[in-house]
């Protein structure tokens, strides 16, 4: 019987992000994905126009059917949550479906490049901090890590001591492991900071920066991390290969497509992603 991950996130019909990206990647890695939509978009919000259907009112009935089926999950992944009500629903979902053996990954999709998304209020930020306490793994980018901890954001020039303090503040919220992504580390490199409960060691992973980023890169990264976690892959190794895969996809995308909103060409690169 294949392992299963519940994917609590939005569905964007076009633009390669959220469930549309996560589902094929975890399937490729041998894990069954079970989507629970938080919203349905015709295309992601980076486009000038889009249709959106909020799914909040339907989520409890949807979840109740899963409860009737007595579904059990090896992992639960959360992404875009559009309201405090949705965070409360997800918290209830954790309490109903997460056991001591269930891996919970929370991707606090809140903002990027120093700016919080327009949908996020201070109340929503407070609720997200509470949700982190349930997580085995959290995957904030640098912007989200700063907003969650009340740390002043700056795009570059981070000292190791600052990053270690930032990681410790996040772990103090309850997550067992974390990776902070998208940190400019100087000399043309970009990297991640990895930290875990019970360890004083903070791991720095870096690689040469690609000139531009794209929508959906965080979803690709989290998808590999979530599938690897339920498959028993070492966390540091998973973070490293996730970063390398995203970079390779970006490089391949720039060869053929200059349109930012179309996301990254991960489909042609899946053969590089080995099941472990």
pLDDT tens-digit readout, 54-108: 999 999 999 999 999 999 999 999 999 988 999 999 999 999 999 999 999 999 9
Count the neighbouring beta carbons within 10 Å of the beta carbon of residue 121. Answer: 12
Distance CA 114, CA 133 (A): 24
The pTM score is: 0.95
Q: Using the predicted structure, report yes or no on whether residue 50 has a pLDDT greater than 90.
A: yes
Count the neighbouring beta carbons within 10 Å of the beta carbon of residue 247. Answer: 17
Asked if 156 contacts 195 with a C-beta cutoff of 8 angstroms, the reply is no
Q: What is the pLDDT of residue 1?
A: 66
* Better-scored residue on pLDDT, 63 or 46: 63
Asked if 51 contacts 250 with a C-beta cutoff of 8 angstroms, the reply is no
Q: What is the pLDDT of residue 51?
A: 96
pLDDT tens-digit readout, 100-125: 999 999 999 998 888 888 778 888 88
Q: What is the pLDDT of residue 258?
A: 66
Count the neighbouring beta carbons within 10 Å of the beta carbon of residue 141. Answer: 23
Assess if CATH 3.30.300.20 describes domain 3-272. Answer: no
| Vertex 80: Cα angle to 151 and 211 (nearest 5) | 65
Q: What is the pLDDT of residue 170?
A: 96
Distance CA 113, CA 127 (A): 22
Distance CA 157, CA 267 (A): 35
């Amino acid at each position: 019987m294949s392992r299963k991950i519940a994917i609590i996130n939005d569905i964007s019909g076009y633009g390669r992000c959220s469930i549309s990206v996560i589902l094929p990647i975890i399937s490729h890695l041998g894990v069954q994905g079970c989507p629970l939509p938080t919203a349905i978009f015709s295309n992601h919000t980076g486009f000038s126009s889009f249709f959106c259907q909020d799914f909040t009112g339907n989520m409890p009935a949807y979840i109740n059917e899963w409860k009737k089926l007595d579904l059990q999950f090896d992992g639960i992944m959360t992404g875009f949550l559009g309201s405090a009500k949705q965070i409360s629903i997800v918290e209830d979902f954790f309490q109903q479906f997460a056991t001591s053996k269930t891996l919970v990954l929370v991707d606090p999709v809140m903002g990027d490049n120093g700016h919080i998304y327009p949908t996020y209020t201070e109340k929503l930020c407070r609720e997200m901090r509470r949700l982190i306490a349930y997580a085995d793994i959290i995957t904030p980018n640098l912007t989200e890590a700063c907003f969650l901890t009340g740390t002043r954001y700056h795009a570059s020039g981070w000292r190791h001591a600052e990053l270690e303090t930032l990681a410790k503040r996040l772990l103090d919220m309850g997550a067992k492991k974390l990776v902070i992504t998208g940190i400019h580390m100087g000399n043309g490199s970009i990297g991640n900071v990895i930290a875990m409960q019970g360890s004083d060691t903070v791991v720095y992973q870096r690689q040469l920066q690609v000139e531009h980023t794209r929508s959906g890169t965080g979803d690709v990264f989290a998808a590999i991390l979530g599938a690897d976690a339920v498959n028993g892959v070492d966390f540091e190794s998973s973070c490293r290969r996730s970063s390398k895969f995203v970079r390779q996809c970006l490089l391949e995308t720039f060869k053929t497509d200059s349109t930012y909103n179309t996301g990254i060409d991960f489909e042609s690169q899946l053969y590089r992603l080995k099941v472990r």
